[in-house]
């Protein structure tokens, strides 16, 4: 659970950075903490206070709307923010927030409080929602500004209703064999989360030749699999590699201690793969490095 919490925090921080990156020149919003995990039982109530801050040195006050959204993570690991009610595991309807609007001056902080009332008949498993803080770009002037943008950050709430189960399997292995000897062999492993909890999945692919000798180990990207969903973990294999047949052993772990998930796949390379061509540095402009005493 600790690894999952760290991974989710890192992924969401990256996501919020992308959402707000265009706004950094004019302003941004800080939320502390960025994500929370709650282990609860049906009927339990949880209350949390967030610190919202405007780190910018500006006299312009930033107005923020505070609202809940649903979130989904698709098969390739991309987060999607959706209207409340879009995701069946949403905890948004269990959550109340106060206040619904904020106004922050430069380097000012305020607090927002939310309460999660878990229904007595809540189904076991992970439920989640995102509390968004969205503000209009402070320099925008209606009727005069040609282009403006909105910046937003979010606080993600994971509510783990007991009892939790962790289960999953490899349900597909897909490959892309290069068409030329300078290409790269690509592999995608499909993991299906059949449990009721969100899990962090990590692993590797061990490649052995016909003699059983380990010739390469390919890391698989660490990613989050939400319950009841598929997840694709990708990796690639570059030359130099001799042509021939290889056995790929997929080894995944979804957080269960001392229990890995295994699958095999046969790889056939029709030709030798060459090492990727190195990229030469750009040539210096003509005359670079010459003495300064000559004519222009």
50-72 tens-digit pLDDT: 999 988 887 778 889 999 999 99
Average pLDDT over every residue of 199-223: 96
Kindly tell me if the per-residue pLDDT of 194 is higher than 90: yes
Per-state percent for the chain, helix, strand, coil, to nearest 5:
10, 50, 45
Confidence check: pLDDT of 293 > 50: no
Let me know: does 34 contact 155? Beta carbons within 8 Å: yes
More confident residue, 135 or 261: 261
Give residue 24's pLDDT. 38
Q: Is the pLDDT of residue 27 over 70?
A: no
Contacts of 11 (CB under 8 A, 6+ apart): 77, 79, 224
Each domain of the chain, given as residue ranges in start order, spans 2-161, 168-269
Return the biggest CA–CA distance within the chain.
86
Q: What is the pLDDT of residue 7?
A: 58
Instruction: Please state which architecture CATH assigns to domain 168-269.
Output: Sandwich (2.60)
Mean pLDDT of all residues in the chain?
85
Of 17, 131, 117, give the one whose Cα is nearest residue 66.
131
Percent residues over pLDDT 70 in the chain: 79
CA neighbor of 261 nearest in space, from 173, 162, 164? 173
Of the candidates 246, 274, 242, 248, the one whose C-alpha atom is nearest the C-alpha of residue 262 is 248
Mean pLDDT, residues 169-182 taken together: 96
Quick check: 17 pLDDT over 80? no
Whether 168-269 and 2-161 are alike in CATH topology: the answer is yes
Specify the pLDDT at position 89. Answer: 98
Pairwise CA distance, residues 179 & 269, whole Å: 10
Q: What is the pLDDT of residue 276?
A: 80
Distance (Å, whole) CA 268 – CA 210: 11
Neighbours of 235 (CB within 10 A): 19
pTM exceeds 0.75: yes
Between 245 and 148, name the one with better pLDDT: 245
SS3 20: helix
| 3-state DSSP assignment of residue 18 | helix
If one compares 288 and 192, the residue with the highest pLDDT of the two is 192
At residue 207, does pLDDT exceed 90? yes
Taking 60 as the threshold, does the pLDDT of residue 290 lie above it?
A: no
* Nearest alpha carbon to residue 118 among 188, 182, 43: 43
The whole-number pLDDT of residue 265 equals: 98
Look at residue 286 in the predicted model and tell me its pLDDT.
55
Cis peptide, bond prior to residue 33, ω within 30 of zero: yes
Q: Minimal CA–CA distance to 137: which of 263, 27, 36?
A: 27
Tell me what the mean pLDDT of segment 64-93 comes to.
95
Q: Is it the case that residue 95 has pLDDT exceeding 80?
A: yes
- Whether the ω angle into residue 99 lies within 30 degrees of 0, i.e. cis, is yes
Query: What pLDDT score was predicted for residue 295?
Result: 33
Candidate CATH numbers 2.60.320.10, 3.40.47.10, 2.60.40.10, 3.10.20.30; the one for domain 2-161: 2.60.40.10
């Amino acid at each position: 659970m600790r690894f999952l919490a760290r991974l989710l925090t890192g992924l969401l921080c990256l996501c919020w950075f992308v959402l707000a990156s265009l706004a950094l020149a004019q302003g941004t919003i800080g939320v502390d903490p960025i994500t929370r995990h709650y282990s609860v039982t049906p009927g339990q109530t949880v209350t949390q206070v967030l610190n919202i801050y405007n780190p910018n040195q500006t006299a312009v006050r930033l107005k923020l709307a505070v609202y809940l959204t649903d979130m989904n993570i698709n098969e390739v690991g991309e987060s999607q923010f959706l209207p409340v009610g879009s995701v069946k595991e949403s905890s948004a309807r269990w959550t109340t927030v106060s206040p619904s609007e904020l106004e922050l001056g430069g380097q000012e902080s305020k607090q927002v409080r939310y309460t999660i009332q878990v229904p007595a008949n809540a189904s076991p498993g992970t439920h989640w929602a995102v509390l968004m803080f969205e503000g209009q770009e402070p320099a925008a002037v209606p009727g005069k500004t040609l282009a403006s943008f909105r910046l937003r950050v979010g606080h993600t709430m994971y509510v783990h209703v007991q009892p939790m189960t962790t289960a999953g399997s490899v349900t597909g292995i897909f490959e892309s064999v290069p068409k030329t000897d300078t290409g790269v062999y690509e592999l995608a492993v499909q993991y299906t989360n059949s449990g009721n909890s969100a899990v962090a999945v990590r692993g590797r692919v061990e490649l052995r030749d016909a003699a059983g000798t380990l010739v390469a180990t390919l890391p698989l990207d660490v990613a989050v699999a939400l319950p009841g969903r598929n997840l694709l973990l990708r990796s690639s294999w570059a030359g130099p590699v001799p042509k021939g047949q290889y056995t790929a052993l997929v080894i995944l772990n979804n957080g269960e201690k001392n229990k890995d998930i295994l699958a095999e796949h046969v790889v056939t390379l029709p030709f030798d793969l060459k090492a990727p061509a190195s990229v030469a540095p750009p040539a210096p402009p003509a005359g670079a490095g010459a003495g300064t005493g000559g004519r222009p």
